[in-house]
Structure 1
Amino acid sequence: MLDNSMQELNGSGPKKRRNSAENICDKDENVHISQDLKKNDEVKIHDAAPDRVELLHWRDMPKHLQFNPYVLTGYRPLQDVSGCIRSLFYFHNETINILTHGVSLVFMIAVLPGLLPWSVGGWSWFLSLCHLLGALAPWCGSFLYHLFMNHTRGAGLYHRLLQLDMLGIWVSQSIGE
């Protein structure tokens, strides 16, 4: 039951798209196919617009990324590091998580060191460092988790990123306050 949305069960949900070169060319005016290459069953596509990432449905994602059956659309496809970083610049189902954690992280890196008493005396530098690390750890871990969770390396990397996210929370609770 969780594999299909209510819309799909009623027959009104989105249908899975086929992405062949012929379908893309039929729909896009800016695409030109070289006739010489078409004879050899090779298709060369020239697109005047920048590459657009097609967001996926929950059912199209690998099992390790199907942890929330209530978010049905807007999933980024599996991508390499540069694709994950480029996902900062378009809207998808993880955008708010990435931006809120990333902006908070940058703000704290910029502001917090100037507010801490680094040289008051004794061990104040160490306590300031512990406070800084404890404050930054959960934001950094969560930012990296949400940004790279759809990496092509799959479930192994995903679980390492999740551990990094949890480690950030543990560091915050252990030495941050």
Structure 2
Amino acid sequence: MEVLYDIRIRVSINDIEAGLLYKYLKMHPVEKRCIREGYFGYFFKDFPQKREFDLMLNLETIDCCLRVLEDQDLNDPLENLLKRDLLEKIYQWADIINKEEYAIEYFQSNYYAICLEKYGDEDTYFSFENFLKEKPLQSLNRKPDKERLSIWRRLKNF
């Protein structure tokens, strides 16, 4: 058994950015399916009525956005400027999701190391509940490098 964590980020984009994204999605031969399949939680129908669009993005959706924005260029300077700003935002969102996934992998590898040391080859699965049972929060908050620093200071002073 394995617990899967699907990391998503909720973001807001303005109607201009949503219109730009919609335009590029609609023109892309492969990724226009994202509009029909509701990858963004809505179908981009109400641009005039909305000022902001709330999106729930995971890495798959972000990859779709990046492909459509990077694959196509209409040689419009203003549009390219808007597209560049939107791409920067999307890369920041992808970085946030990647950091969360790396943190989960870090906890997961620590959990399996603890279980291997304690139980051997017992069949266990990672979840945050199981991790916290094995390694309480108090042990996560301590600062193990404090003693090392004082030793280094002593050596330096010596």
Give TM-score scaled by structure 2 length. Answer: 0.26
- Greater relative CO (CA pairs within 8 A, separation 6+): 2
Between structures 1 and 2, the one with greater helix share: 2
